[in-house]
Amino acid sequence: MKEKIDYENLKDELLSVLDSGLKSARKKDHAAEFELYVFYKHSTRVDVKQGVVEATDGLVEGNAVRVAKNNSVSFASSSGISTDRIERSFNEATASLKAVSVKDERFKGFCEPLKPGREGAFSSEILNLSKERLIKYSDGLVKEAKKFDPRVLYATCTCSTDWGGFAVGNTLGLQQASRSASNACQIYCVAAKNEERRTGNEYDISRERVIKSEGLGENAAKQAVALLNAKKLNKTQIMPTIWPPIAASSYLFASLGQSASGRAVVEGLSPLSGKLGKKVAHPGLTIVDDGQDPSSLSTETVDAEGHPQERNTLIEGGVLKNFMFDTYYARIYGAKSTGNCSRGGVFGSSLPYESQLSIQPCYIKVTPGKKSMEKMIKSIDGQAILIADVPIGIFHSDVATGEFSAVAQSVFLVEKGEKKYPLQPVSVAGNFYKGFQNLVDIGSDSQRTPFQTETPTLTLDGFSVVG
Amino acid sequence: MLEKLRECVTYGEKLGAEFVEARYDDLVLRTLQRTNDAWKDIILRSRAGAGFVCYCGGASGYSFTSSDTKEALKKTVAQSVKMAKASAKATSLKLDFDKQAPIKSRKADTYPVKIHPQQKGLDYKTGLVNRAVETARDFGKNINNVTGWYGELYGRKVFTNSEGSDINWDFEIVDMRCLVISRMSTGELVIGIEQAGGTAGLEVFQKKGSKPEDIGKAAAIQATEQLKAKSCPAGKFRALIENTLGGVLAHESFGHLSEGDFVVIGGSPLAGKIGKRLGTEHATIVDHGTPDIEKFGGLWVPFDDQGTRAHKTVVLEKGIFKHYLHNRGTAKRLHEDPTGNCRAVHFGFMPIPRMTNTYFAPGDLNREEALELLDTGVYAIQTSGGQVEDDGSFVFKAIRGYWVKNGKIQEPLREVALSGNILELLTKIEGATKDLFIQAGYFGGCGKSGQAPLPVGTGAPEVVIGEVTFGGKAD
């Protein structure tokens, strides 16, 4: 492998490592099947916390091997992509297969080679972002937020760039690689008045252009300050809840993102099991998982086992159309993989090569409706609450039950068609899947969020609100 | 490796760093997971890498690599110096620290286990999981799914710095879990889960209550009981918080607020609160890197990733706020001593103030007295996790519970969320039992600033609280 890997030659270099690794593996055991995954990512990150500046830079390289023989499969990974580190993984995986016979009769082989999908958008400007510029962006945003209002107690900002890629191949002849570069910034601030504290945050994430940081600090500060002087709701009641894009995306990610997984369906963990072709949501709801959206950060040519990433309709007009599959669960279910094999779990991982394969959404997109958020608020007759940020605890629900209980920290009372005033935190509880059926309204304000989701505002009824 | 790291420290100083910290981790992680009859995970991970923190002008830079060649390590430390110099130009809140005498580790710093996971083969460990899963099947009802896990993490941690500290010790942790999912007649699914582990040898799974059969049986019995459990009513009730849930509460909701990095920027509501009464006399919270594991369970962390020896830090003593949790820079800034709390999840991250074993100190009640004190309310048990905000607001999910009336346990309750603000909650603690238990494990862990999952210990006795908000169903 070359001493210096750059973005241009990254795929070729990783494919070369992959090819020699697989050739070496074949010699070990002709009767076994091997899969090799090699990962390479360069990251620069700057955190500015008030006046404390921390800059980090580094390279994560790693490899993962799966070995299959007689319906037994083992997995091993090592940091590094040198020949000896890859050899180590092969040896560990082979040794564990010999040491213990744990049959998985459902395993029917690795991913078959297919034509890859498209790479996502790329901007060479992202590669040229220096640590000095990241420090300037972060510091500038913190100062912008603080300057906006004296009630802003403190602000923190993280700006980062990443570039890298992976190659995956197996002894069925599959050898694919994918690469991407992205940059992101996120500003978080807290406004305080006496003992009351309210938060605001803004972000920009892109793979097709350099981040646009201007105004994000002020917006985050505005959000936090607007939530001050919150009143108590003082009641426990079932009422409509309005979820703007950032909150709605957390709802979708925590619910459908997990329950539409082929694993949850096959293992009997999902309430959506057996409901294919049936009405599971309001007829106005259409949701697609798009692994080929050029601007999505998760778009790759192939997924983590080498299957092409795809566009997959999950719910159309309220009817459940498909689940998300990798090769393993697709074969058990009698379906085709949808290119949703992932390494790194629900929220990703800093060392994804260490993770066993799982099924995760690529990019969940809700088809927008026609109403603006203002019109959605106007159509509320009695009382509702508007949840302005990700409710805490939303990701700690159980996919098996769909029951959730979260606390909305950034929340406003809506009454007789008007957004009235901020509320002190309220608890919101209910069932995710009943929520989809009790969908009242879909907004027109679609927005990309950090949860690999693009959704407009949603109004959902039937949840208990306690405050 | 220590020699290579020492050379890098010198090299970093030559390039202009005022202080250099160098560390190298060489760890092995093993995960086994069986779901029903199929093995889902038989994973072995080798995680090795180096990280360098360089300090210039009160600012820090960090760089890391998974390579262990001298050239790669030198290149990495040079990059770290550059990052620190760039940071120094923009930093306005400097976190210098005083020099101290070098620290040398001893053999006794590695926790002595009787049966190290390295001594047993894979078949022994799959056997542990099989025993738990099969027992769960024997004792469960309407079972939809049974999953058993085994995890181990062990290996060498090496550290040196500009003061000439030489630290070399072995981290070790094992974990076993069993999850049973049963289906109610209505089609809804309920769960039961049990765990054992921490820094211990495999002998821990031979102890009564921690044997695989005990773990499987307990999970199955819990899931079976949940088949007839009711939803917890929504509202504010008196509560008895079970040990593992109490431990997560101490860690997540209070511990994070006491971390020095959050305090120095003025972000924590605990900033400026040293010496102030924050809770009742029954509220004492401690962070301790080397607790009495034999007695209470927990995690062994004799040094943090900045080379500071573990401390026992009483953060809150009988309701009075006493101390923050620090790295060396935040300690100096806040005029306190370092507490051995500067930790990183792996070589890819700069160490930051994190907890070790955080727990509510035990009280003087037995279970019956605690139920009597509770009188009527919710007995909330175990947790599947939670989330906190910077102001101390929290939401935790209790996996199960009981309604208690006049001090007597009544019907079982389904999963329920508890919410509130820790600073209010501490003022409502009315008592605690004698039985401290610190839970630690391989699966899960603490998350902060993108660094997760960091192994931690969380502990508590059973704690009686005057009022907690339960988010259940509205009538």
Hey, is B2 helix, strand or coil? helix
Same domain flag for A293 and A342? yes
End-to-end CA distance of chain A: 60
Partners of A79 on chain B (C-beta within 8 Å) are: 46-49, 66
Tell me the residue length of chain A.
467
Same domain flag for A257 and A149? no
The mean pLDDT value for A342-356 works out to: 86
Q: What are phi and psi of A72, to 5 degrees?
A: -110, 140
Which tokens in the block code for residue B160?
Answer: 């040196």
Low-confidence ranges of chain B (pLDDT < 50): 473-475
Same domain flag for B193 and B342? no
Nearest to B22 by CA among B33, B14, B10: B10
Number of structural domains in chain A: 2
Q: Is residue A231 part of a domain?
A: no
Q: Is residue B341 part of a domain?
A: yes
Same domain flag for B204 and B91? no
Count CA within 13 A, CB hemisphere, residue B140: 34
* ipTM of the prediction: 0.88
CATH number, domain at A70?
3.30.2290.10
- Report strand pairing: A458-466 vs A426-431: antiparallel
If you measure CA to CA, which chain A residue comes closest to B450? A350
Hey, is B394 helix, strand or coil? strand
Subunit contact B62:A396, Cβ cutoff 8 A: no
The mean pLDDT value for A312-338 works out to: 97
Which tokens in the block code for residue A247?
Answer: 């909150």
**Phi and psi based region of residue B373 (left: phi greater than 0; alpha: psi -120 to 50; beta: remaining):** alpha
Nearest to A77 by CA among B430, B462, B411, B66: B66
Distance set, CA B186 to CA A401, B182, B472 (Å)? 12, 11, 19
Of B64, B469, B471, which has the smallest distance from its Cβ to A58's Cβ? Answer: B64
Subunit contact B416:A104, Cβ cutoff 8 A: no
Interface test with B, best of A1, A5, A78, A79 (most B CBs within 10 A): A79
Q: Is residue B349 part of a domain?
A: yes
- Tell me the pLDDT tens digit for each residue of B110-131: 999 999 999 999 889 999 999 9
Subunit contact B474:A238, Cβ cutoff 8 A: yes
Report which DSSP code applies to A134: H
Same domain flag for B89 and B211? no
A102 to chain B, closest Cα gap in Å: 7
Distance set, CA A450 to CA A46, A203, A295, A380, A398 (Å)? 18, 8, 13, 29, 22
Same domain flag for A110 and A248? no
Q: Given the structure tokens 């079970």, which residue do they identify?
A: B242
The mean pLDDT value for A62-71 works out to: 93
Which tokens in the block code for residue B172?
Answer: 């070790």
Same domain flag for A28 and A144? yes
Q: Alpha-carbon torsion A317, A318, A324, A330, what sign?
A: negative
Segments forming the whole domain that contains residue A381 = 236-466
A229 to chain B, closest Cα gap in Å: 15
Subunit contact B396:A102, Cβ cutoff 8 A: no
- Report strand pairing: B357-360 vs B446-448: unpaired
Same domain flag for A171 and A295? no
Subunit contact A57:B83, Cβ cutoff 8 A: yes
Segments forming the whole domain that contains residue B10 = 2-107
How is A77-106 classified by DSSP, letter by letter?
Answer: EEE--SHHHHHHHHHHHHHHHHH---B-TT
pLDDT at position A277 over 90: yes
Same domain flag for B246 and B342? yes
Kindly indicate the confidence band of residue A72, based on its pLDDT and cuts at 50, 70 and 90. confident
Strands (E), A317-396: 319-320, 341-343, 357-359, 364-366, 383-387
Same domain flag for A258 and A204? no
Q: Which residues contact B87 (CB under 8 A, 6 or more apart)?
A: A46, A53, A54, A55, A135, B56, B59, B60, B61
Same domain flag for B197 and B301? no
Same domain flag for A139 and A258? no
Of B63, B266, B391, which has the smallest distance from its Cβ to A58's Cβ? Answer: B63
CA–CA gap between residue A387 and residue A251 (Å, rounded): 11
Same domain flag for B37 and B86? yes
Same domain flag for A215 and A250? no
Partners of B419 on chain A (C-beta within 8 Å) are: 393, 405, 407, 425, 427
Q: Which residues contact A459 (CB under 8 A, 6 or more apart)?
A: A240, A241, A242, A243, A376, A380, A384, A439, A440, A441, A442
- Tell me the pLDDT tens digit for each residue of B1-55: 999 999 999 999 999 999 999 999 999 999 999 999 888 788 899 999 999 999 9
Q: Is residue B164 part of a domain?
A: no
Same domain flag for A358 and A387? yes
Q: In whole numbers, what is the pLDDT of chain A averaged over residues?
A: 93
Higher-confidence position of A269 and A113:
A113
Same domain flag for B13 and B128? no
Nearest to B355 by CA among B388, B310, B398: B310
Distance set, CA B464 to CA B59, B395, B432, B459 (Å)? 44, 18, 6, 15
Subunit contact A466:B393, Cβ cutoff 8 A: no
Mean pLDDT check: name the lowest of A25-29, A330-334, B178-182, B399-403.
A25-29
Q: Is residue A5 part of a domain?
A: no
Partners of A73 on chain B (C-beta within 8 Å) are: 39, 42
CATH number, domain at B47?
3.30.2290.10
If you measure CA to CA, which chain A residue comes closest to B28? A78
- Tell me the pLDDT tens digit for each residue of A136-186: 999 999 999 999 999 999 999 999 999 999 999 999 999 999 999 999 999
Subunit contact B474:A466, Cβ cutoff 8 A: yes
Residue B283's identity, in one-letter code, is A
Task: Note the pLDDT of residue B171.
Answer: 97
Partners of A398 on chain B (C-beta within 8 Å) are: 189, 191, 384, 415
Same domain flag for A179 and A276? no
Task: Note the pLDDT of residue A209.
Answer: 96
Nearest to B241 by CA among B377, B358, B357, B390: B377
Task: Note the pLDDT of residue A101.
Answer: 67
Q: Is residue A4 part of a domain?
A: no
Same domain flag for A170 and A38? yes
Nearest to B184 by CA among A462, A403, A324, A393: A403
- Tell me the pLDDT tens digit for each residue of A220-249: 999 999 999 999 999 889 999 999 999 999
Subunit contact A407:B471, Cβ cutoff 8 A: yes
Residue A409's identity, in one-letter code, is Q
Same domain flag for B197 and B251? no
Interface test with B, best of A427, A463, A465 (most B CBs within 10 A): A427
Number of structural domains in chain B: 3
What's this model's pTM, rounded to 2 decimal places?
0.90
Of A93, A351, A427, which has the smallest distance from its Cβ to B471's Cβ? Answer: A427
Dihedral (Cα; B115, B120, B122, B127), 10-degree rounding: -60
Task: Note the pLDDT of residue A1.
Answer: 55
